[in-house]
Amino acid sequence: MKYKKERQEIIECARKMEKYGLVVFSGGNVSLRMADGSFLVTPSAMQYDSMLPEDIVRVDAGGNPIEGLRRPTSDLQAILHIFKNMPEINVVLHTHQSKAVAVSMITEKLPVISTTMIDEIKGEVPIAPFTISSDLGMGISVVEHAQKALAVILKQHGAITFGNSLEQALNAAVYLEETCQLYLSVLAAGRDVLILTEEQIEAEERPRGYYGQPKEEI
Ligand SMILES: [Zn+2]
């Protein structure tokens, strides 16, 4: 079986989606583009807590199975369409995060309202119109609406986040849900949501200082 380590990392990422409340049961999916042009995707309708590396399905760019006995996620054609049209990304995460879905029923886009949005999501998040699930149309709509941000909210459905790594796409999804909670809280308080100005966004984007720990121990 090829890519055992990456398969395990996909499962761990999917379990974190569940841990952070972005999906329940077998909802959503995780997909990873490999250097050889194949894709590793989570199987359809299987619980993440009992998922094994061999349950992850490996497919080619046309969706044909290369390795694995399971049926791939039912969103496979939509996800492959996203990968094909967004060659700069290696990971597609799909969630059913409820706060993002709530926001999709209130507004047409999630404006930049916090520094976290700039740092972790990379900008304002578009909201793609409603499309049915398990259908290529969802992928077409995501490609049409994707902007600079690492996320697109799917109206009355969930969200898609992107990244170069599983960690980056997962971070974007978790911080998207946190931001949507913030947005909803302000509306629930009966106040207007304050949107950051272009100047504030540019200042936040500018490299400065440091964040995190050094890679090597001192
Ligand atoms: Zn879905």
Neighbours of ion ligand 1 (CB under 5 A): 133
Residues in Cβ contact with 138 at an 8 Å cutoff, skipping those fewer than 6 apart:
75, 78, 131, 132, 154, 157
pLDDT of residue 187: 97
Cα of 98 vs centre of ligand 1, distance in Å, is 12
Cα of 101 vs centre of ligand 1, distance in Å, is 11
User: Reading across the β-sheet that carries 91-95, which strands appear in turn?
Assistant: 65-67, 57-59, 39-41, 29-33, 91-95, 158-163, 151-154, 125-128, 109-110
> What CA dihedral angle connects 25, 29, 30 and 35, to 10 degrees?
140
Give the type of residue at 80.
L
Q: How many residues does the chain have?
A: 218
Cα of 147 vs centre of ligand 1, distance in Å, is 20
- Report the chain's C-alpha Rg in angstroms: 18
Cα of 175 vs centre of ligand 1, distance in Å, is 19
Cα of 119 vs centre of ligand 1, distance in Å, is 26
Residues in Cβ contact with 155 at an 8 Å cutoff, skipping those fewer than 6 apart:
104, 105, 127, 128, 129, 130
Copy the structure tokens of residue 140: 């077409």
* Structural domains in the chain, sorted by start: 4-205 (3.40.225.10)
Q: Which residues of the chain have pLDDT under 70?
A: 217-218
pLDDT of residue 218: 54
Copy the structure tokens of residue 166: 């599983």
Copy the structure tokens of residue 138: 């969802």
Cα of 181 vs centre of ligand 1, distance in Å, is 20
Residues in Cβ contact with 43 at an 8 Å cutoff, skipping those fewer than 6 apart:
51, 55, 56, 57, 68, 70, 71, 72, 73
Cα of 160 vs centre of ligand 1, distance in Å, is 9
Q: Which of 12-46 are b and which e, b meaning 16 or more Cβ less than 10 Å from the residue's Cβ?
A: ebbebbbeeebbeebbbbbbbbeeeebbbbbbbeb
Task: Identify the bridge partners of residue 181 per DSSP, sorted by sequence position.
Answer: none
Instruction: Please tell me the distance from the alpha carbon of residue 153 to that of residue 95, in angstroms, as a whole number.
Output: 10
How much helix, strand and coil, in percent to the nearest 5, is found in the chain? 40, 15, 45
Cα of 38 vs centre of ligand 1, distance in Å, is 22
